[in-house]
Copies of this chain bind each other. A is one copy, B any other.
């Protein structure tokens, strides 16, 4: 897994924005609670904004807030916004064409990967940001 921590960061940021009830939060403040650099947060917010999950405002007093209510945002949407579409990696070099397995394996593997990715999306789609916050409170 050259998997990144962007999903964890993104859920954290979205949870803070949800708790802030529409008040604008600066990247500096968000970076302090996540414990990272403001630029890392800003890059994340750009992806979240492209998916319409947050809205941002520039200039003094600016920052980010949720793009819509936390009840209408699922973790699957957050995941899709900030991570690569496939969890798995295929062969870096093309498998051997002379081998009856190697010459045909890639599309079959891709179908397996696609099913696994959909399973993750289904599972993450079952939890909204609001539900996540509820779990945080009654942990």
Hey, what's the 0/1 contact readout for A85-106 against B, CB within 8 Å counting as 1?
0111111111110111110110
- One complex includes copies of this chain to the number of 2
Given A32-B96, A101-B136, A108-B136: A3 in contact with B89 (beta carbons within 8 A): yes
> Would B34 and A96 count as touching, CB distance under 8 A?
yes
Measured as residues with beta carbon below 8 angstroms from the partner, the interface class of chain A is 35 or more
A20 CB to closest chain B CB (Å) equals 10
- For residue A84, which residues in chain B have a CB less than 8 angstroms away from its CB? 1
Count chain B CB atoms within 10 A of each CB in A101, A104, A109, A111 and give the residue with the most.
A101
The docked-state distance in angstroms from the alpha carbon of A45 to that of B3 is 23
Q: Smallest distance from the beta carbon of A58 to chain B beta carbons, Å?
A: 24
